[in-house]
């Protein structure tokens, strides 16, 4: 069944502060679930992402890793990161799908000054609308996961859009569709949470006592969640332990902006009152 895309939040608008209620409440809220323990690092998802979203191919070089690109780019929205982490005498080979997590409380959207450049849908997808992007890159510093990438040619920012055109038509995102081991699953968020519980339980039975679900509360939860075998060592997966959608500096900025508009008004009114009280001081040209 195709889902209509109803909007939840729009950047630089009142709905950035107070999310809109869905006209048809109870619509599906989706989530990806990435089981890091099941990924074999085939990078099929990377290819599917490039193909479906028609993203430019970039020349890659071997830098001593199975990793294809060094970093995400405006044309590489999904990157399998390969990291070798020493674990006592053992070596832990971590393969992590790096892409937008589609936060429930999106720091990028809160930081964005351009009306309509970032839109969050009721179904959980956070999408950039490059037509409205002004290229300031505030979303880059607003994102706790370092995901958006600036395109120097188009002077706009890009990231994973959760294959919104597929989701709109009732399909799963391309990376999910192509994954041969079901390491990436797709469904209603509640179902995915239940699925994650089972996966974590199974990992614990297999001896991964710190296995955990990554669905951080600091950003209101995410619509791409990870099942991590070593939940006590999130830094190994380059996942921030306490990501936040509103860092202290931006909270301070919002506070200043709110009192600032009153202060400017106060300044103008004070000048008016002063003028009415004492008037101009005119030099006596005959004195």
Partner 1 sequence: MSTPLLRRFSFLERITHWVVGVTFVVLLLSGLAFAYPSLFWLTTFLGGGAAARVLHPQIGALFGVGIVVMFVLWIRDMFLDARDREWLGAIRHYVAHDSEKVPPAGKYNAGQKLFFWVQSLLGIVFVASGLVLWFPEYFSAGLLNTARLLHYAATLGGGLFLIVHVYLGTVAYPGTARGMIDGKVTPAWARLHHPRWSGDRVDH
**Residues at the interface with partner 1 (CB under 8 A):** 12-14, 16, 113-115, 132-138, 140-143, 146, 150, 155, 247, 249-250, 252-253, 256-257, 260-261, 263-264, 267-268, 271, 274-275, 278-285, 287
Q: What is the distance between the alpha carbons of residues 113 and 34, in angstroms, rounded to a whole number?
A: 32
Chain-centroid distance of CA 9 in Å reads 13
Of the pair 37, 244, the CB lying nearest partner 1 is at: 244
Which residue from 129, 121, 131, 125 is spatially nearest to 163, judged by alpha carbons?
Answer: 125
* Least distance (Å) between residue 92 CB and partner 1: 27
Of the pair 13, 83, the CB lying nearest partner 1 is at: 13
Q: Beta strands of 147-221 (E only): which ranges?
A: 149-151, 156-158, 184-188, 212-214
* Least distance (Å) between residue 238 CB and partner 1: 14
* Least distance (Å) between residue 142 CB and partner 1: 8
Q: What is the distance between the alpha carbons of residues 28 and 37, in angstroms, rounded to a whole number?
A: 27
Of the pair 1, 278, the CB lying nearest partner 1 is at: 278
* Least distance (Å) between residue 166 CB and partner 1: 29
Residue 247 burial (10 A CB sphere; 0-12, 13-18, 19+): middle
* Least distance (Å) between residue 242 CB and partner 1: 14
Of the pair 120, 123, the CB lying nearest partner 1 is at: 120
Please, which contacts does 198-207 make with residues 24 or more away whose CB atoms are closer than 8 Å? 199/33, 199/35, 199/37, 199/227, 200/227, 203/37, 203/227, 203/229
Of the pair 9, 32, the CB lying nearest partner 1 is at: 9
């Amino acid at each position: 069944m195709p889902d209509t895309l109803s909007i939840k939040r729009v950047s630089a608008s009142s709905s950035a502060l107070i999310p809109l209620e869905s006209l048809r409440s109870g619509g599906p809220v989706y989530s990806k679930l990435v089981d890091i323990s099941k990924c074999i690092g085939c990078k099929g998802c990377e290819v599917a992402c490039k193909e479906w979203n028609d993203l430019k191919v970039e020349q890659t070089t071997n830098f001593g890793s199975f990793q294809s690109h060094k970093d995400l780019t405006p044309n590489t929205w999904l990157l399998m990161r390969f990291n070798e982490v020493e674990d006592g005498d053992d070596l832990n080979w971590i393969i992590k799908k790096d892409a937008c997590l589609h936060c429930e409380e999106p720091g990028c959207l809160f930081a964005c000054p351009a009306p309509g450049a970032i839109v969050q849908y009721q179904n959980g997808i956070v999408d950039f609308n490059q037509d409205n992007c002004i290229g300031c890159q505030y979303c880059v510093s607003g994102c706790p996961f370092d995901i958006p990438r600036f395109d120097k040619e188009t002077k706009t920012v890009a990231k994973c859009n959760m294959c919104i055109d597929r989701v709109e038509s009732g399909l799963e995102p391309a990376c999910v569709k192509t994954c041969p081991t079901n390491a990436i699953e797709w469904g209603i968020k509640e179902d995915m949470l239940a699925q994650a519980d089972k996966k974590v339980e199974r990992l614990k039975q297999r001896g991964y006592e710190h296995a955990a679900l990554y669905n951080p509360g600091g950003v209101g939860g995410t619509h791409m969640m990870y099942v991590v075998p070593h939940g006590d060592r999130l830094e190994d997966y380059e996942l921030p332990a306490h990501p936040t959608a509103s860092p202290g500096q931006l909270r301070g900025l919002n506070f200043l902006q709110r009192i600032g508009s009153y202060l400017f008004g106060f300044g103008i009114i004070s000048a008016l009152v002063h003028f009415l009280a004492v008037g101009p001081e005119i030099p006596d040209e005959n004195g």
